[in-house]
Structure 1
Amino acid sequence: MKKDLQIRAANTDDASAISNVIAAALRESNAKDYSPTVIQRIERNFDPTAIVALINRRKVFVAVSARKVIGTASLDGDVIRTVFVSPAAQRQGVGTKLMAVIEELAREAGVGTLSVPSSVTAEQFYLGLGYQAVHDCFHGEERTIIMQRVLVPRDQQSSD
């Protein structure tokens, strides 16, 4: 885990940095599992203007290290969306920390079950966090795995 990692609410000034993290993750990580056409289509949905709209509509968070945005995740009701970590920062606990913040926020909001539309690329990550695949969803040739996890209320968690 990065020692100086901070998770904070995103603001509109973060839009370009968030867009860049998403584009890099799509091009480098997701490109192993999706065609260039799918990657380009998805990437168009996350330009800085679209990110500003998301920040105004969802609870969006960023992971920051060395004053640089290296990850993002958002909560939209009971659905986790737009979880991306810069390729250089993957497998260092950034995504796990983002997910912990999102899950805590969901618990505080009384959400009982969280869903996440997972890319093929991220399926193992979510399985490792206790999410289970529920069904596949296809948007053209893009396969998304809908995954869910029942949240245990804070007062019912064990203290081990």
Structure 2
Amino acid sequence: MTCTIRRAISEDAEEVSSIIVAALRKTNAKDYSEAVIQRVEQSFTPEAVREMMNHRVMFVATQDERIIGTASLDGCVVRTVFVEPGFQGQEIGRRLIAEVEREALARGIALLAVPSSITAEPFYAKLGFRAVRDSYHGEERTIVMERALSTES
């Protein structure tokens, strides 16, 4: 599958929001209650995504000009990694994480953290992240994971 990774722009917010909500509803819903999914969705409205772009370095994966995935870097934390459900399992998430890592290295960041959903924990583990602790927001469990970045090319 050919896709392009680029920096997100404000005009991408609607599509990014739609992809996140679709992934939450289709993929994450098997590990979280409907109430948790609805609460998390509220954090990813188009307006909220646009606001995130002001504070994070956000990337999108595109195929034929259509956004099919997103990931962002917020300081030393990987955030908002979502791939449209129909494109999951096709290395798009891995490519997005690689772009986030390149950005982190360029900023001198040596250790990345990610607050992983239960759903995404195996994905991050395959990329070398290790679980360091659980975090709870009400009934929503996330697994805080970390990975040291190699400065060698």
Whether the TM-score (by the shorter chain) exceeds 0.5 is yes
Deviation at 1:39, TM superposition (A): 0.2
Deviation at 1:7, TM superposition (A): 0.3
Query: Could you tell me how far apart the structure 1 residues matched to 2:85 and 2:28 are?
Result: 10
- Counterparts of 1:11-90 in structure 2, within 5 Å, are 11-90=9-88
> How many residues are aligned here?
153
**Letter matched to residue 8 of structure 1:** R
Partner of 2:139: 141
- Counterparts of 1:82-101 in structure 2, within 5 Å, are 82-101=80-99
Q: Give the RMSD, CA atoms, in angstroms.
A: 0.6
Deviation at 1:140, TM superposition (A): 0.4
For 2:17, what is the secondary structure of its paired residue? helix
Partner of 1:9: 7
Q: TM-score, with normalisation over the residues of structure 1?
A: 0.94
Q: Unpaired segments of 5 or more residues in structure 1?
A: none
Residue by residue over 1:79-133, the C-alpha shift from the partner in whole angstroms, topping out at 9 and shown as x without a partner, is 0000000000000000000000000110111101000000000000000000000
**Letter matched to residue 6 of structure 1:** T
- Counterparts of 1:90-129 in structure 2, within 5 Å, are 90-129=88-127
Query: Could you tell me how far apart the structure 1 residues matched to 2:9 and 2:105 are?
Result: 23
Deviation at 1:66, TM superposition (A): 1.7
Q: Unpaired segments of 5 or more residues in structure 2?
A: none
Residue by residue over 1:55-78, the C-alpha shift from the partner in whole angstroms, topping out at 9 and shown as x without a partner, is 111100000012110000000110
Query: Could you tell me how far apart the structure 1 residues matched to 2:32 and 2:113 are?
Result: 22
- Percent identity at matched positions? 51
For 1:57, what is the secondary structure of its paired residue? coil
Where do 4+ consecutive residues of structure 1 move more than 2 Å?
A: none
Query: Could you tell me how far apart the structure 1 residues matched to 2:11 and 2:104 are?
Result: 25
Q: TM-score, with normalisation over the residues of structure 2?
A: 0.99
